Amino acid sequence: MTKSIAYSRTPVSGARSVSILALARTIAPLLLVAGCSGGSGTGSPAPTPTPIPTPTPTPANAAPIFTSPATANVTENATAAYQATATDANGDPILFSISGGADAGQFKMTQAGALSFVTAPKVATPTDSNGDNVYAVQIGASDGKVNTTLDLLVTVTPATAGFRVVQVATGFTQPTWVGPIPGDPGHVFVTEKGGKIYTLEPATGTKTLLMTVASLSTDGERGVVGLAASPDYATSKNIFVHATAPDGTIEIRQYQVGNPTFNGTGYRVALSIPHPGANTHNGGWIGFGPDGYLYDAVGDGGTGGNPAQDTNSRLGKILRIKVDTTPGAATAFAPAPGNPFIGGGGDPYVFALGLRNPFRNSFAPDGRLVIADVGENTNEEVDLMPVSQPKMNFGWPLVEGDKVNTANPPADLVSPVTLYRHGTGNFAGNSITGGVVYRGPVAVLKNQYLFADFGSNNIWSVPYASLTQGTILPTTQYTWRNTDFTPDKGGIRSVVCFGEDTAGNVYIVDLGGAIYAILPK
């Protein structure tokens, strides 16, 4: 039979309160037993109560654990130092920071764990607390609840590790330029001021006379000063030479190797630049850009006046030329499309202006032209020119680097990205020789811009990434390379060119007659 129980809602005086839920739990089994015992009752069995789950205990928080090492080795002159990594057993996000250490002030760190020097370290002038080029810094990894620390030692190593400088050839007479031969990784071109053009095999030092350029003047800064091989040289054999005619006119000449009509004594003039009255400030660099056009750098003539700011003059300019070498047709030359004065207002070949003597330049891996402009009395400068930005005005003679020569110069003048003063010492000079951004096989030199001073014989490098438009990089960020670049034989002086082969190996031309190569150890 089914039992029924009535509950009173009125508390009994003096009685202890009873939880209805507890009472129900006590009586429920009795009801179940009664319902299942023998008898004539027809009621349904009481439902089985749902168990109340026991809550899962919250696990204790585990501290992050570093998985990156406690030591690091970095090459001098670069700011990147270390990448911290860590794990967290609870899966919490980890944030990194600097938490201490004797040399903590030398570093900065992102929350993602990238540790870098505030200023690129130099082995010759260490700034760690005890001057041994081992920097001590404590870093932390936090999951928001617990912080774990790691005592890190960062050792700075010399930038000379991994390369050597070798004298690969001697016996040239006033060599002026060295550069790649498209399609021929084993050889480079070498030009002499007096007109001879050679091919050189650096591995053996063997040089072969290719041609002798005629109809030259070679006094002062005149002569054969630069060369550019056509990108299709392997099939066309076309080369373009920056040379000086007997009357002093600067000519961009086309020669075709192996063609007697255009080989040495015969040539086609792509462009001429009148240069009366002086044998200086000829410029001299010539090269094909990433856009396929031929660029030529011309000095201001050295005779005073203001030709560099005169848009109708080709002096003191970067010129840009379209070269049409359609097979079977005569090579045609024209102002490159996009030149700023094609529609008027200046010479249609002018692309940029305001330069004094842009003797040596080069295209960087990102396609910008790195221009080294020889100064007058105060500064030597490096400028950057994207080929997508025509009509850039680098200011000469209104300014010389950061020295203003005129009242109220135009606001659109483009400042250099670095400069150094005239003078003596390891970070001064009087005639800049522009170089190249290294892209060869030596890891410690990758993306370093190499350059020199012809007068002081100083050689430097700076990280190319540190050359930023709108900021003048100070010489404190230069790496003085004269000791690093001590060759196996001879001595590097009077640097007139840095050049490359097709593999990115860099060569240094000494006007005294030798060629040097920077090679892996």
Residue 265 — very low, low, confident or very high, per pLDDT cuts 50/70/90? confident
Query: How far from the centroid of its chain's Cα atoms is residue 288's Cα?
Result: 20
DSSP-derived 3-state class of residue 481: coil
Q: What does the pLDDT average to over 472-500?
A: 94
Q: Given this model, what pLDDT does residue 43 score?
A: 53
| Structure token pair of residue 427 | 């970070």
The backbone region for 452, taken as left when phi is positive above 0, alpha when psi lies in -120 to 50, beta otherwise, is beta
Q: Given this model, what pLDDT does residue 303 score?
A: 87
Q: What is the pLDDT of residues 275-325, one digit of tens each?
A: 988 999 999 999 999 999 999 999 999 987 899 999 999 999 999 999 987
Q: Percentage of the chain with pLDDT > 70?
A: 90
230 DSSP assignment: -
- Is 353:389 a contact under the CB 8 Å cutoff? no
Task: Name, in order, each residue with C-beta under 8 angstroms of 171's C-beta and a sequence gap of 6 or more.
Answer: 207, 513
Does the pLDDT of residue 117 top 80, yes or no? yes
Q: Given this model, what pLDDT does residue 161 score?
A: 72
Q: Given this model, what pLDDT does residue 28 score?
A: 44
Does the pLDDT of residue 338 top 50, yes or no? yes
d(CA 345, CA 334): 17
- Higher-pLDDT residue of 470 and 3 is 470
Q: What is the pLDDT of residues 388-441, one digit of tens each?
A: 999 999 999 999 999 999 999 999 999 999 999 999 999 999 999 999 999 999
Range with lowest mean pLDDT among 10-19, 226-235, 266-275: 10-19
Does the pLDDT of residue 331 top 90, yes or no? no
Task: Name, in order, each residue with C-beta under 8 angstroms of 260's C-beta and a sequence gap of 6 or more.
Answer: 266
Q: Given this model, what pLDDT does residue 158 score?
A: 81
Residue 45 — very low, low, confident or very high, per pLDDT cuts 50/70/90? low
Q: What does the pLDDT average to over 216-225?
A: 97
Does the pLDDT of residue 30 top 60, yes or no? no
Q: Given this model, what pLDDT does residue 296 score?
A: 99
Q: Given this model, what pLDDT does residue 327 score?
A: 67
Residue 223 — very low, low, confident or very high, per pLDDT cuts 50/70/90? very high
Alpha helices in 207-281 (DSSP H): 233-236
pTM of the model: 0.74
Most confident listed range (37-46, 59-68, 212-221): 212-221
Closest to 507 measured CA to CA, from 70, 118, 202, 129: 202
Q: What does the pLDDT average to over 130-150?
A: 96
Q: Given this model, what pLDDT does residue 18 score?
A: 42
Residue 457 — very low, low, confident or very high, per pLDDT cuts 50/70/90? very high
Q: What does the pLDDT average to over 488-515?
A: 98
Q: What is the b/e burial string over 279-311, where b = at least 16 CB atoms within 10 angstroms of the residue's CB?
A: bbbbbbbbbbbeeebbbbbbbbbbeeeebbbbb
Mean pLDDT, the chain, integer: 90
- Higher-pLDDT residue of 223 and 33 is 223
Residue 59 — very low, low, confident or very high, per pLDDT cuts 50/70/90? confident
Task: Name, in order, each residue with C-beta under 8 angstroms of 321's C-beta and a sequence gap of 6 or more.
Answer: 252, 270, 271, 293, 294, 295, 296, 333, 334, 335, 336, 349
Q: What does the pLDDT average to over 445-472?
A: 95
Q: In what order do the strands lie in the sheet with 134-142?
A: 71-75, 147-157, 134-142, 95-100
Q: Given this model, what pLDDT does residue 324 score?
A: 87
- Is 178:517 a contact under the CB 8 Å cutoff? no
CA distances from 263 to 133, 258, 452, 454 (A): 56, 7, 33, 32
Does the pLDDT of residue 328 top 90, yes or no? no
- Is 322:337 a contact under the CB 8 Å cutoff? yes
Closest to 173 measured CA to CA, from 157, 186, 190: 190
Q: Given this model, what pLDDT does residue 362 score?
A: 99
d(CA 375, CA 379): 5
